Every structure is written in structure tokens, then in C-alpha cells.
């Protein structure tokens, strides 16, 4: 692992700007969104099967509704989701 870090870190730090510029110029926005959506579906299905995919989709739809109809900022939603185990513990005793 240390050897991988020793090789990857300098290459990443040296070429990160050029790689980012290349991706932004040559890869479409839709392809990037599709890649992230595919990664989410892959991880959700790996962890919990179709139930995990359905739950991830419902959370995404609910978050989108909160943003569009009520103006709840994405950062606030993230922090609420991140703190939800603690909030549930405090509310439910």
C-alpha cells in the first residue's frame, strides 16, 4: 500500500490540473452524471440489492423535492442526513 501511495500521490499532485482540464473539455456533462449515477446504483445494489437501489432513489427524489419546492440547501440536507443516526437516537430515546 505504501508503494502505491508513493507512486500515485506525486503523479496526482503533479498532473491533477491538466487531467481536470482535459476531462472538462473532452467529457460531456451527461457522461459524468451518468458515471456518478452508475456508481451509486452499483454501491447500493452491492450493499443491499434492489432494496438499497430503491431506498437510494427515494432519498434522491425526496432531496430533490426539498430543494425545488422548499428551497432547502443541499449542504443542509447533507448535514441532516449525516447526523440522522444521532438525531434519531435523541428523538426516540
Specify the pLDDT at position 66.
93
Task: Report whether 66 contacts 78 (CB < 8 A).
Answer: no
What's the whole-number mean pLDDT along residues 27-43?
91
**Calpha distance 74→39 (Å, rounded):** 20
- 9-26 pLDDT, tens digit per residue, is 988 889 899 988 998 899
pLDDT band at 42 (very low <50, low <70, confident <90, very high): very high
Judged against a pLDDT cut of 90, whether residue 1 lies above it is answered with: no
pLDDT at 65 over 90: yes
Q: Give domain limits for the chain.
A: 2-92
* Rg (the chain; Cα; Å): 19
Which pLDDT score is estimated for 46?
92
Amino acid at each position: 500500500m505504501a508503494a502505491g501511495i508513493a507512486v500515485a500521490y506525486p503523479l496526482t499532485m503533479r498532473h491533477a490540473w491538466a487531467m481536470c482540464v482535459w476531462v472538462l473539455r473532452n467529457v460531456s456533462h451527461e457522461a459524468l452524471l451518468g458515471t456518478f449515477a452508475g456508481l451509486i446504483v452499483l454501491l447500493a445494489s452491492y450493499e443491499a440489492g434492489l432494496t438499497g437501489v430503491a431506498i437510494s432513489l427515494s432519498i434522491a427524489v425526496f432531496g430533490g423535492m426539498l430543494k425545488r419546492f422548499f428551497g432547502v440547501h443541499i449542504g443542509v440536507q447533507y448535514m441532516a442526513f449525516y447526523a440522522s443516526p444521532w438525531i434519531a437516537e435523541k428523538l426516540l430515546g
